[in-house]
Amino acid sequence: MTKPRSLILDLFGDYLRYVGSEVRAADLVDLLFALGVEPATTRVTLSRLRQEGWFTTRREGRETIYRLTDGLLEILDEGRDRIFAPYRVEWDGWWTQVVFELPESDRTVREQLKKRLAWLGFGALSTSTWLSPRPIRQRAEALSVEFPTVRIDVLSSRTDDLSHDRRLVEQCWDLPALDADYRDFMCAHSGLAETAAQLTGAAALIARVELTSTFRHFPFRDPSLPESLRPHDWSGAEAHGLFLALHDQLASAASDYVGSVVGEDVGALAGSENI
């Protein structure tokens, strides 16, 4: 079962950000209840997220209004870009390479940096050397600001040998396991492709939230390889295409339901075409 805090962030990422990035606590309770979360659990989770700095609150009479902080909005924007970005086709042969250095004792910082690199599409060539075929030098250089205690060098490198590049891919990512998981995702959601257009109300919201919650873990593992670096019969692009199609098919009905709860029209804004 998806954790309540993840469901709350999914609701803001796909819907509530389009209605001023704020919502009444009572409406969030109702939406989470439709997704199977008890009201008391939602209220405790909201309180913790506010304490962690994800939300600010204000009062309107007896109502508590939760509003996204700018920091959370940036995170949602980045996540949305990463999840919905199309697979790249062409590649110029250049790798973005990150080499970092910090003491072994700083394990917490090391793990945070590794998660951040994976999210950006890097794979570990060695413990402290990570590669990405994507042209993301500026994002990589920005890591020095996020992790000021870490020495980070960002390089551009190439091998001029496609077979060597493919061996690097095999070293940096476990593509067979990822491909198997993509195939499982497609198998699990093949039935939804036949029924999505008929779903309405809470059922459409539940299906769309489940779809997003299931798929949003893939960008942490998938470097979005260009065609020249993908394995034969790679299923990632097909799975991504299925996700986008289902997400859009469910958009209208799910957004209408959310709009009926919060009293705002979000239906015209919440499709993945608005990236």
**pLDDT tens digits for range 141-175:** 999 999 999 999 999 999 999 999 999 999 999 99
Residue 122 and residue 66 in one domain: no
Is residue 79, in this structure, part of any structural domain at all? no
**Domain-ending residue, one of 19, 37, 72:** 72
- Cα angle for residues 185, 114, 116 (degrees, 5° grid): 70
211 within domain boundaries: yes
Residue 90 included in any domain: no
- The pLDDT confidence band at residue 275, using thresholds 50, 70 and 90, is very low
Q: Domain boundary residue among 107, 127, 157?
A: 157
Kindly state whether residues 147 and 181 are assigned to the same domain: no
Whether this model's pTM surpasses 0.75? yes
**The predicted structure's pLDDT at residue 106:** 87
Together in a domain, 104 and 46: no
Residues 187 and 216 in one domain: yes
State yes or no: pLDDT of 182 exceeds 90.
yes
Model confidence pLDDT, tens digit, residues 19-41? 878 899 999 999 999 999 999 99
Residues of the domain holding 233? 173-262
Report yes or no on 232 lying in a domain.
Answer: yes
Q: What is the mean pLDDT of residues 65-82?
A: 86
Tens of pLDDT, residues 194-220:
899 899 999 999 999 999 999 988 988
Please state the domain count of the chain.
Answer: 3
